[in-house]
A and B are shown apart, each in its own frame.
Chain A
Amino acid sequence: MSKRLLGLILVLPALATITLLFLVPLAASIIGAFEIEGSYGLGNFDKAFALYSQDILFTVVIVSLSTAIIGLVAIAIGGYLTLGENTLAVSILRWLYRWPLFIPFIVVGQVLRTFLAKNGMMNNTLVSLGVITPLEATSFLDWRGIVIAFVWKQAPFVALLVSGAMASLDRGTIEAARNLGASRLRILVEIVVPQVATTLIVGLVLSFVTMMSVLSVPLMINAQSPTMITADIAFRLNAYRDYGVANALGLISLLITASVAWIYLKHNVRSQA
């Protein structure tokens, strides 16, 4: 049996599942994105861009920023777990960092809303510790709140993947570099991170996708405008029952994600060649 055929047979069950159960129903939505009162055209996209171009840009910026911070936090956590020399500190960190992973997004939205508000728990604690005065307390319930929520929830996800990959690296190279006097930061940047790049990027792409589709966080934390694409989709549907523009926005969101996924795939092809 040729490798191609075998490969296809192995992928087929999974591919068939999402094709039948998601892509086929999705097709109707995608067609709907081009439908305006019975005829076909780009009217829904025009409207989507006219009303929501700011929001689309905002979404891309927020999610990209969050992804970058998540990457840094995950590398820092994974790096310390791998290269940290104090076993107590390493095990404290290992115990500490995973908790947000288990909190559903809607609850993340809720706890951070009451935590980050101007008179929320964070500022209350800081004020009572004397770190800030009540007048200096500000609300983080805007774009910063969204970024904080995303990083809070997703960094442990990527850190879990990355720290595992780091731990499985060949200790020999690391020890050798250490013996030659390289600093741990340098080892992390020059030896460890390049070797776990694939895992890191997979984790980041998956985080990116997840954040693009989360509705509860922008709805519950961000009061301001602009807001995120998912909130606009929900609004289009709930307020106007306008599936056309909602689907157009969905397609735009999909294209943004797909282009990010492409970066990974490019990288992957290069590293395999």
Chain B
Amino acid sequence: MKTLLNAVLVLGFAASPAAAAELTVVTAGDQNMVEYVSEYLGPLFEKENPGTKVRVVGTGPGDAGSQKILERFEAQHKAGSEKWDVDVAVVHEKFVGPMVQGGYLAAYRDKIPTGKLVTRSNADMALGTKVSGYVMPMFNSQTALAYNPALVPNPPKSYAELAEWAKENPKQFGYNGIKGGASGVSFVMGWIYAFGEGDAEKLQNGPFEEAETKKWDKALASLKHFTSNATLTPGNAGTLDLLSRGEIAIGPVWVDMFYSWQADGRLPPDLKLVLPAPGMPGQPMHYVIPAKSPNQELAEKFVALATSPKVQAEGIVKRFNWYPGIDAQHVQAELDEATWNKLFKDITPEDLAKYGKPFPIAPYNNAILEAYERQVTN
């Protein structure tokens, strides 16, 4: 028993943070995000900064993954820890606002050379909270409709066409409601943008007005009817799963997940994407650095590397076929035309500019979700 206790103590100590130059990266998202940091970014960073070591922890996909990182920050904040155990975190857009409001983050964007390479507004505002300085986008993601061209030769180009199409093809459209992940949520938001009687611009940019929340009843009623004619899928991955086994012909997916599934051989290679008018939301994944990170300087260097045009080109675009986080022109310059054009195989840059929308600001977002809960599922 005694030796065992010793063993525990020894192991406990051995496992506690050792060398000064160990950089801890915590990332929300699928396993491929974890592998991206551990297999690609980590070694690259270690080569440029000899003596350092990058270790990475994944917290799981979707909002749940980012929520766990936020809770981890909250716990250390409330416990009054002086040095936190996270140096860099990768989180969804939605969770950056609360992190900034909680005072957990360091403002670092202006300190790193790549900070100037981002001009897109979603690096300054996150669902209505001002976050400029605190975040650097890792990549931009977008939801779109994935479809099987064998079953749907002429995919619907807008929400209105989709509603028509679904009427003629019952149960062939599938989505995951709002509780199973953000691709379903995004589809619902797009529905409100399309059919809500309010102003979609206001939903996306604020300000929040109570009166606006009363303008969705009709849209939600029609969504309820639409949903009764659709197939519900278990989660973001569930939609892709049912697409892959031919049970549904069309459904909303995250573009990045779609490409990962195709690359991993879980999705037929001939499936395609379409971004319907008037648009569906997308969101960036952000790099953040906790204010109490023990390796502030190293963390900044890490994010600078991760958001450099070269890494964005090689890592994000070439490796994953994801939309880069920093401004496109800096990344495009690093790539040959064929690789760059692969990004826009199904969705053209024009469509992306026109129909790639942000999510509604947080209060509208919550109000829509709750209205959906009351009026569509109940």
B314 beta carbon closer than 8 Å to chain A: no
Q: Please name all residues of chain A whose beta carbon is closer than 8 Å to the beta carbon of B281 when the two chains form the complex.
A: none
A239 touches B180 (CB 8 A): no
Shortest Cβ distance from A231 into B: residue = B179
Scan residues 207-244 of chain A and give those whose CB is less than 8 A from a CB of chain B.
219-227, 231-232, 234-235, 237-241
Q: Please name all residues of chain B whose beta carbon is closer than 8 Å to the beta carbon of A227 when the two chains form the complex.
A: 179
> Can you offer 22 A-B residue contacts whose CB atoms are under 8 A?
A51-B374, A113-B234, A113-B241, A114-B241, A117-B247, A119-B247, A120-B245, A223-B176, A223-B180, A223-B231, A223-B232, A223-B233, A223-B234, A224-B232, A225-B177, A227-B179, A235-B179, A238-B63, A238-B64, A240-B369, A240-B370, A241-B67
Q: Which 4 A-B pairs have the closest CB atoms?
A: A238-B63, A223-B232, A119-B245, A225-B377
How many residues of chain B have a CB within 8 Å of chain A?
31
B234 touches A220 (CB 8 A): yes
Q: Please name all residues of chain A whose beta carbon is closer than 8 Å to the beta carbon of B63 when the two chains form the complex.
A: 238-239
Q: How far is the CB of B271 from chain A (nearest CB, A)?
A: 15
B242 beta carbon closer than 8 Å to chain A: yes
A118 beta carbon closer than 8 Å to chain B: yes
Q: Please name all residues of chain B whose beta carbon is closer than 8 Å to the beta carbon of A237 when the two chains form the complex.
A: 67
Shortest Cβ distance from A239 into B: residue = B369
Q: How far is the CB of B241 from chain A (nearest CB, A)?
A: 7
B245 touches A118 (CB 8 A): yes
B98 touches A219 (CB 8 A): no
A232 touches B241 (CB 8 A): no
A249 beta carbon closer than 8 Å to chain B: no
**Bound Cα distance A183, B188 (Å):** 60
**Bound Cα distance A219, B185 (Å):** 15
A239 CB contact (under 8 Å) in B231, B366, B374: B366
In the complex with contacts A113-B241, A118-B245, A220-B98 CB distance below 8 A: no
**Bound Cα distance A114, B234 (Å):** 11
**Bound Cα distance A141, B171 (Å):** 14
B238 touches A223 (CB 8 A): yes
Q: Please name all residues of chain A whose beta carbon is closer than 8 Å to the beta carbon of B366 when the two chains form the complex.
A: 239-240
B62 touches A238 (CB 8 A): yes
Q: How far is the CB of A83 from chain B (nearest CB, A)?
A: 40
B180 touches A219 (CB 8 A): yes
**Bound Cα distance A224, B232 (Å):** 6
Q: How far is the CB of A228 from chain B (nearest CB, A)?
A: 10
In the complex with contacts A118-B247, A119-B246, A222-B64 CB distance below 8 A: no
B373 beta carbon closer than 8 Å to chain A: yes
A54 beta carbon closer than 8 Å to chain B: yes
B119 beta carbon closer than 8 Å to chain A: no
**Bound Cα distance A113, B178 (Å):** 19
Q: How far is the CB of B346 from chain A (nearest CB, A)?
A: 24
Shortest Cβ distance from A240 into B: residue = B366
A139 beta carbon closer than 8 Å to chain B: yes
Shortest Cβ distance from B62 into A: residue = A238
In the complex with contacts A51-B378, A54-B378, A223-B177 CB distance below 8 A: yes
Q: How far is the CB of B281 from chain A (nearest CB, A)?
A: 14
Q: How large is the interface on A (under 10, 10 to 19, 20 to 34, 35 or more residues)?
A: 20 to 34
B235 beta carbon closer than 8 Å to chain A: yes
Shortest Cβ distance from A241 into B: residue = B98
Best-surrounded residue of A221, A223, A224 (most CB of chain B within 10 A) = A223
Contact with B along A141-160 (1 / 0, CB 8 A): 10000000000000000000
Shortest Cβ distance from B377 into A: residue = A225
**Bound Cα distance A141, B239 (Å):** 12
Q: Please name all residues of chain A whose beta carbon is closer than 8 Å to the beta carbon of B241 when the two chains form the complex.
A: 113-114, 117
Shortest Cβ distance from B95 into A: residue = A241
Q: Please name all residues of chain B whose beta carbon is closer than 8 Å to the beta carbon of A139 when the two chains form the complex.
A: 247
Given pairs A114-B241, A119-B246, A240-B369, 15 additional interface contacts (CB within 8 A): A51-B373, A113-B234, A113-B241, A119-B245, A119-B247, A141-B234, A141-B238, A220-B235, A222-B234, A223-B232, A223-B234, A223-B238, A225-B377, A231-B179, A241-B70
**Bound Cα distance A234, B374 (Å):** 17
B235 touches A219 (CB 8 A): yes
Shortest Cβ distance from B238 into A: residue = A223
Q: Please name all residues of chain B whose beta carbon is closer than 8 Å to the beta carbon of A222 when the two chains form the complex.
A: 234
**Bound Cα distance A118, B171 (Å):** 13
A238 touches B67 (CB 8 A): yes
Shortest Cβ distance from B98 into A: residue = A241
A219 touches B234 (CB 8 A): yes
Q: Please name all residues of chain B whose beta carbon is closer than 8 Å to the beta carbon of A51 when the two chains form the complex.
A: 370, 373-374, 378
Q: Please name all residues of chain A whose beta carbon is closer than 8 Å to the beta carbon of B373 when the two chains form the complex.
A: 51
**Bound Cα distance A219, B63 (Å):** 13
Q: How far is the CB of B301 from chain A (nearest CB, A)?
A: 32
**Bound Cα distance A224, B176 (Å):** 9
**Bound Cα distance A240, B301 (Å):** 33
Q: Please name all residues of chain A whose beta carbon is closer than 8 Å to the beta carbon of B180 when the two chains form the complex.
A: 219, 223
Q: How far is the CB of A247 from chain B (nearest CB, A)?
A: 14
Shortest Cβ distance from A109 into B: residue = B234
Q: Please name all residues of chain A whose beta carbon is closer than 8 Å to the beta carbon of B234 when the two chains form the complex.
A: 113, 141, 219-223
Q: Please name all residues of chain B whose beta carbon is closer than 8 Å to the beta carbon of A117 when the two chains form the complex.
A: 241-242, 245, 247
Shortest Cβ distance from A53 into B: residue = B378
**Bound Cα distance A139, B374 (Å):** 27
Q: Please name all residues of chain B whose beta carbon is closer than 8 Å to the beta carbon of A238 when the two chains form the complex.
A: 62-64, 67
Best-surrounded residue of A219, A221, A232 (most CB of chain B within 10 A) = A219
Q: Please name all residues of chain A whose beta carbon is closer than 8 Å to the beta carbon of B237 when the two chains form the complex.
A: 220
Contact with A along B223-266 (1 / 0, CB 8 A): 00000000111110110011001110000000000000000000
Best-surrounded residue of B98, B241, B246, B366 (most CB of chain A within 10 A) = B241
